[in-house]
Structure 1
Amino acid sequence: MTTAPCGRAPERQRTATAWAVLFIFLRLGVTCFGGPIAHIGYFRNEFVVQRRWLDERAYADLVGLCQFLPGPVSSQVGFSIGLMRAGYFGGVAAWTGFTLPSAFALVLFAYSASALVGPIGLGLLHGLKLVAVAIVAQAVWGMARTLCPDRGRASIAVVAALIILFVTSPFAQIGAIAIGGIVGLWFCRALPTSDIGHVAVPVSRRVGAAALLAFVVLLFALPILGGHGAPGRFSLFDAFYRSGALVFGGGHVVLPLLHEAFVTPGLVSDDVFLAGYSAAQAVPGPLFTFAAYLGVIVKQSPHGVPGAFLALFGIFLPGILILIGVLPFWDSFRSRPAAQAIMRGVNATVVGLLGAALYTPVWTSAVKSSGDFGLVLVGFVLLTVWRAPPLFVVVLGAVGGIVLGQIT
């Protein structure tokens, strides 16, 4: 891609209106199943192969940027494509179209889940919890193979898991990520640096600096407001914002962060939390829309539909802010070996975080019998070996949970 003047995009990128971007991403939001890696494949087919909005190298550079940053990778890629094609309104249109279908489905599930009572309803919810075990185990397995391929990064992941398992401080996750980055600078700097290219975007350095400042100010100001008598909506927004700001390595990593923010203080029960997380695997679009489900059921005002909107805005905002903030500075920053080494350590850390979450709360709260373990094992093999669609595994797990409930 050619370099655009500061704050402007190349003319050939501004040939689509925000409305056109919205309808294209709305269709993708309804049809993109399979998680962020699958979403990236859908986007490539749509925007590189069919529409030719980007060439292959520019798209790979864009995906590399979003994988480097905290936040939902596929949503950040989609926002960037909309931004590059139709300006800031195009970015908002892309995010809206891709996010709303799955958010709407999970809001409906949140309202219907409360009606699931009796043996059949409880069995269905238990089956969904077992599916969550299989899905998180698949995520740990896949991420460990990619992000921890050597002894140094595997050791970082193990240390991070031990920190989370044995340190009860609410700052344990932030501390583990920071330690992982520091150790990565030491262990991973000798590794070969990644090939880099160039991404041209219509964001000026002034706008980027303002977005980075807003990201940092909100990250530190929201907890202060929540702890000094501000209305409950500030603490609720802070919980979602903080979770979205600390997610590295994929949407599954948001599970331990949201669990710490909502289940530990008693705002959401463990069973309902894991059932909703499993249901989020059955809908298309970004996994972060799980926040809309939590916004409906949380035992703190606002909840219901207003809570869903607050949750979605809170959890996606930090990823968008840091994306806009980094875009103008990305080329010069990511070429530095030190930056790449730090991110290798951070990525290894998130494997450890997710591994700890696989044990508690996911495994300890769901697997209670040999039948439960058998259903988890079947789901895991279907996902990792047979490459079965997550929707199929979710349906199978729900049916299996009902059957187990009837025979025990």
Structure 2
Amino acid sequence: MTTPGGGGRVSAFLEVLFTFLRLGLTSFGGPVAHLAYFRAELVERRRWLGDARYSELLALCQFLPGPASSQLGMALGMTRAGLWGALAAWVGFTLPSAAALLLFAQTLSAHPALAAAGWVHGLKVVAVAVVAQAVWAMARSLCPDRPRAALAMLAALFTLLAPTAAAQLVALLLCGLLGLWWLRDTGAGAGASGANEATAAPAIAVSRSLAVVALVVFFALLGVLSLWAAGTGSPVLSAMSGVYRAGALVFGGGHVVLPLLEASVVPAGLVSQGDFLAGYGAAQAVPGPLFSFAAYLGALLPGTWHGMTGALLLLCAIFLPGFLVLLGTLPFWEVLRQRQGMRRAMAGVNAGVVGLLLSALYDPVWTGAIHSRADAALALAAWALLSLARLPPVWVVAFAAAAGWALAKWI
């Protein structure tokens, strides 16, 4: 990686910022689509890097916890402009979706009656279809055999019977340990592409000392935020701790963050279940990362945190662990990816997150959105449009909102 000086650094920063801002405005379709947009723009059109290096970075980001597409964007920004390039890529890619969801949250706050509007209920119903599609797609990819399907069922049963944030963490840990002991010859245990795609360590200049500091901060914040929240009893600090924990422990795609975020804000009464599901439905209609949903939740926090302050707080809280673990892993990636035990444990964790998402499909998604036969019919229609007709999510969300308005008006 070249290190430009003076004006070159500013120029490289701005280039990364505006490139990813354009991607953030146009990248509809979720994480898998984001990866295709990145490759088309940065490998084929701009030629920032080659296919081999892109595949190395993609394999690394799919191996790590956190939002894979956003982490890949940060890594790509780093290849162009160092650490400031990672910041520019994150800001550019995240800003459009975060701003749209912040505006939606502020509109709901200013006009509480909208929460009962038919089109808002349609957004809650479409969340059922989106999560159902995610469960099905992830199960086919991450649970292709009986042992991993069994781990997914175990995680689902455990979290249905004990619907708490602590139970979710225990389920993931248990699946990881069982995967280490039980799974054999699973191939890549980290994601759709897996660790075996890489043939060499990504050539990004991150020193081992900086990486160690990043990992220490990553783990320290996991403990410090939890202790701080418990010591003060502040529901806002508890939400920040839960959102950071969600960003630190999510494997398998952006949808998996749903149950972790719900456990962080809904039981404490910071966000109602109805508003939570409406925001999640709206998040499907905007481009960019699904993790921007945290900005919506932050904007609904009470008191002085309400609005932009809370949005920035939770947005940073959910993305920070992904950046820290990326930074902390880059120099050690070649060693980590070759460890069979690590890949088996990650395969177990990935099976566990399918179970968590399956549990969330029932509660809170189904129980919070489906109250009648008409709701169930709308959810089924939305699922068919997503999974069978393969329409873009933005069009399905628009259809569900319009159908929800029509159902409220005429039924």
Contact in 2 for aligned 1:239/1:258 (Cα 8 Å):
yes
- Residue 282 in structure 1 maps to residue 285 in structure 2: yes
Query: C-alpha separation between the residues in 2 aligned to 1:191 and 1:119?
Result: 48
Which position in structure 1 is the counterpart of 2:356? 353
1:214-247 deviations in whole A, cap 9, x for unaligned?
0000000111111222766533421221121111
Aligned residue type for 1:376: A
- Residue 197 in structure 1 maps to residue 179 in structure 2: no
- What RMSD over aligned residues (CA atoms) do the two structures have, in Å? 1.8
- Residue 363 in structure 1 maps to residue 366 in structure 2: yes
Which position in structure 2 is the counterpart of 1:137? 132
User: More displaced, 46-55 or 74-83?
Assistant: 46-55
Contact in 2 for aligned 1:58/1:197 (Cα 8 Å):
no
Which position in structure 1 is the counterpart of 2:62? 67
Aligned residue type for 2:274: D
**Structure 1 residue 119: Cα displacement:** 8.6
1:330-384 deviations in whole A, cap 9, x for unaligned?
1111111111111111111100000000011100111111111111111101111
Query: C-alpha separation between the residues in 2 aligned to 1:140 and 1:270?
Result: 21
Normalising by structure 2, report the TM-score. 0.93
**Structure 1 residue 267: Cα displacement:** 1.1
User: More displaced, 55-64 or 150-159?
Assistant: 55-64
Query: C-alpha separation between the residues in 2 aligned to 1:39 and 1:333?
Result: 25
Query: C-alpha separation between the residues in 2 aligned to 1:256 and 1:191?
Result: 26
Which position in structure 2 is the counterpart of 1:390? 393
Query: C-alpha separation between the residues in 2 aligned to 1:121 and 1:115?
Result: 14
Which position in structure 2 is the counterpart of 1:226? 229
Which position in structure 2 is the counterpart of 1:407? 410
**Structure 1 residue 300: Cα displacement:** 5.1
Query: C-alpha separation between the residues in 2 aligned to 1:176 and 1:115?
Result: 39
Query: C-alpha separation between the residues in 1 aligned to 2:245 and 2:263?
Result: 11
**Structure 1 residue 68: Cα displacement:** 1.1
After superposition, the Cα gap between the structure-2 partners of 1:243 and 1:297, relative to the gap in structure 1 and judged at 3 Å, is same
Q: Can you give the 5+ residue segments of structure 1 that lack an aligned partner in the other structure?
A: 1-8
Query: C-alpha separation between the residues in 1 aligned to 2:301 and 2:239?
Result: 9
**Structure 1 residue 116: Cα displacement:** 5.2
After superposition, the Cα gap between the structure-2 partners of 1:302 and 1:44, relative to the gap in structure 1 and judged at 3 Å, is same
Contact in 1 for aligned 2:20/2:89 (Cα 8 Å):
yes
Aligned residue type for 1:386: A
- Residue 320 in structure 1 maps to residue 320 in structure 2: no
1:260-298 deviations in whole A, cap 9, x for unaligned?
011112111011110001001101110011111111112
Contact in 2 for aligned 1:244/1:316 (Cα 8 Å):
yes
Contact in 1 for aligned 2:172/2:349 (Cα 8 Å):
yes
Which position in structure 2 is the counterpart of 1:305? 308
Aligned residue type for 2:174: I
Which position in structure 2 is the counterpart of 1:244? 247
Report the identity percentage.
51
Query: C-alpha separation between the residues in 2 aligned to 1:104 and 1:23?
Result: 16
Query: C-alpha separation between the residues in 2 aligned to 1:51 and 1:195?
Result: 23
After superposition, the Cα gap between the structure-2 partners of 1:186 and 1:280, relative to the gap in structure 1 and judged at 3 Å, is same
Which position in structure 1 is the counterpart of 2:294? 291
Aligned residue type for 1:367: I
Q: Can you give the 5+ residue segments of structure 2 that lack an aligned partner in the other structure?
A: 189-195
* 3-state SS of paired residue (2:305): coil
Which position in structure 2 is the counterpart of 1:4? none
**Structure 1 residue 390: Cα displacement:** 0.7
Aligned residue type for 1:197: T
- Superposition pairs of residues 120-269 of structure 1, within 5 angstroms: 122-192=117-187, 194-198=196-200, 199-229=202-232, 234-269=237-272
Aligned residue type for 1:334: R
Query: C-alpha separation between the residues in 1 aligned to 2:233 and 2:170?
Result: 26
Residue 345 (structure 2) aligned to one of 342, 345, 350: 342
- Residue 88 in structure 1 maps to residue 83 in structure 2: yes
Aligned residue type for 2:147: G
Residue 113 (structure 1) aligned to one of 85, 108, 111: 108
Query: C-alpha separation between the residues in 2 aligned to 1:292 and 1:66?
Result: 23
Which position in structure 2 is the counterpart of 1:5? none
After superposition, the Cα gap between the structure-2 partners of 1:305 and 1:191, relative to the gap in structure 1 and judged at 3 Å, is closer
Structure 1 runs (4+) deviating above 6 angstroms are none
Query: C-alpha separation between the residues in 1 aligned to 2:214 and 2:180?
Result: 26
